Structure 1
Amino acid sequence: MSDINPRTIVNDDAIVALAANIQEHGLIQSPAGLRDGTGKVGIVAGGRRYRALALLQDDPRFQTVTVRMAPDQATAAFWATSKNAQREDLHPADEIRDFGVMERRGVKVADIAVAYGVTEKHVYRRLALSNLPAPVLDALRDGSVSLSQAAAFTISDDEALTLEVLALHMENIAKGWGGLNDYTIKTRLKPGSVKGTDRRAVFVGLDDDTAAGGRVGGDLFTDGTTFDDPAILDAVFAAKLTQTAADYPAAHAWKWVEAITDSYISYQFDQDRKFGKVHPVEGELTEAEAERYDELAELANAAALGEEGTADALQTKRNGDFTDE
């Protein structure tokens, strides 16, 4: 590698991806070099390709490659600087459209990833964007919509609603108010959806919700799932909770269980039923254990010091437990 080459920092994973691309599609553009006084050739432009080729030396096709030679050092320096300065990645909108075209031609995701030197996850996300209506991609291309805003539009499969929300976004920009943020776009596209992290969704699960007719959506960009029929989710949640409560006593030797759909147990609930409370009997530590417990209590970061096992054991003993009675 020539000292003239300005690229000194490279991403090893990117070099591996480039090597896979070259192995699959061949070396499209040759590196450029300059011969020094000893006759040795240093690479002045194409350092990433040079490093990728070094990983392919078990393939006879790449054991010898053509290098474009600079006639003098001044030309070599110009090539080295110009090659890196003039390089420009595809605009995301153009890449998205190209990914979509390749997929429609039957090119597999893995092959698209190799061709572009990106991860398959990146390809899947771009393909999700390629299914957006053309006006959204046009807005992304002209800068009216950011990449994250475009991603927010992917949660909708209703083109008419998507274009309606896009029109509102563009109208707000025209009025100088700024466009809709990602959250607002999502809530306008799916105003009643429930996130997959909601306690009801977690308890019910995808299978039970869809079996009851619930529609499930997704957000590939946040690895999230949405439950798009809240009324169905609530009905399945209530039914499953009631059945779980009915089955619980026999399975766990409880006398009585009551299902409550609220997210908390109110103070009034206890008061109305005049419940009593049973408390565990506090354990007693030996003198040595009590001293050790106090030592650990004074340490602000006992876990980081590797004391969590002893601390947990002493705390558990001190907390006590319920008696058999």
Structure 2
Amino acid sequence: MALGPELASIASQTFQNTSAQVQDGAGWNLTASGNFVGLRQYGVLESGKRYYVRVSWSGNDEGSAIRALIGGNLGQIAGTEFDVSGTHEFRVVSGSADFLMYASGSTAGDMVRMEIESIREIPGNHLAQEQAAERMEFKSIGGAIWLENDGLDDNGLQLASDLSVKMVALALQYKTGVETAADDYHTLCSDLAGLTSGSSDRVMLHQNNAGLFTGTGPWRVSVSGGVFGTDILPLPWSLVLIKRADHAAFNVGNFFGRNFTNSGRAWKGRGAPVGAFSEIPSDAELSKLHTWAQRHLGVA
């Protein structure tokens, strides 16, 4: 994966709640003046973009009172709390211009070494769900891997902005894979507007039916290489292709999420994004895609 240029620079780093700072190579030995002693990389991020980050830290009370966390002007970034010292790397979506690593539980006089080793933008379009409570669960059995909705509040995967596409490819299973009618308008994909309001670019199951809801558009679907139509259920773990009957472009910015702010309309069952295409692939290309999904995702 190609990354953007290095953004970490000791020359533009500032400090938080310190009484003394001594440079140590590419890092800093910090003496805490109180809680949340920290090191900030100032003004290098753009809100909404994704970054690869690598940091290292050690402290005189680590794993107990002191824990390293990562955040910005808007507070801690979910999933970036480290009890154990050493080097840690992760990927984040920025919510502010600054990058901050800090120690929770520090008291005056504590000694903490911190180093921001690397910050590099991950270019391109990336699916994510930044709200921890709304994330689908990653699962893997044998050769199959997928995300699974808990049926409560999961809200799928989201892009920073919509893409204009002519076909979407998803690996899907509806509930247990044997149901012949949907119990709600469960969402396969949608533009971002469709998460909270009516939209002609929402692709949903039709409640109490075996097919897609065509009231939002002339949607057509193919399951595991089958003929394009409107019926989709029953749906065991399969490769699903989605397009409009007129082959026109549509917007997509969310997979498996709710619509009309109703979490009960999120996808129910397994799901994995496979591809989104600006032009409709040829039959030969779709055959290769199906083979890839069988090999790497374990679909039928």
State whether TM-score is above 0.5: no
The structure with more strand, counted as a fraction of residues: 2
The structure with more helix, counted as a fraction of residues: 1
Give 1 or 2 for the bigger CA radius of gyration. Answer: 1
TM (normalized to structure 2)? 0.26
TM (normalized to structure 1)? 0.24
State the structure with bigger RCO (CA 8 A, min sep 6), 1 or 2. 2
